[in-house]
Amino acid sequence: VRDARTAPFFDAAAAGRLAVRSCTACGRLLPPAAMACSACRSPALSWAEVSGDGSVVSWIVMHGRVPTGSPEGTAAPTAVIVTVELAEGPWINGRLIDATADDLELGSRVRVDFHRPAEGAGEPIPVFRLMR
């Protein structure tokens, strides 16, 4: 959700760049949702842009419900949520696109991309694409 704290994240996402938190006290890079530094506990965080490259450390498959009124035999929707260790260090979660859980291995290389909702339907959100 966009607010004064998250606006820089969404502004970067709109420009196709991934932003993470950066501790102004010790320089450690932290996940976008971090509220304080995990190393030195400082709450003074700024934003830093990262490459968006990383490797998969874990994933979960979320199973949806078949929409009411779907034709017989419609498969339930699934989404794969990957936890990615960015090349710069922080971990971030995002949906895996253009691949399934069968394509994943621990350490699979991924790169961030941005899912852009229709105009007025929300902010761009980071997703991940396998690098093959």
Q: How far is CA 69 from CA 74, 75, 91, in A?
A: 10, 13, 39
Q: Is the dihedral of CA 26, 107, 129, 101 positive or negative?
A: negative
Half-sphere exposure of 19 (CA within 13 A, CB side): 20
Other Cβ atoms closer than 10 A to 67:
9
Residue 40 touches Zn ion, criterion: CB under 5 A: yes
Q: Which of 7, 14, 33, 39 binds Zn ion (CB under 5 A)?
A: 39
User: What is the pattern of x (binds Zn ion, CB under 5 A) and - over residues 7-26?
Assistant: ----------------x-xx
To Zn ion, the closest distance from the beta carbon of 43 in angstroms equals 10
Choose between 45 and 56: whose C-beta lies nearer to Zn ion.
45
Residue 48 touches Zn ion, criterion: CB under 5 A: no
Query: Where along the sequence are the contacts to Zn ion (CB under 5 A)?
Result: 23, 25-26, 28, 37, 39-40, 42
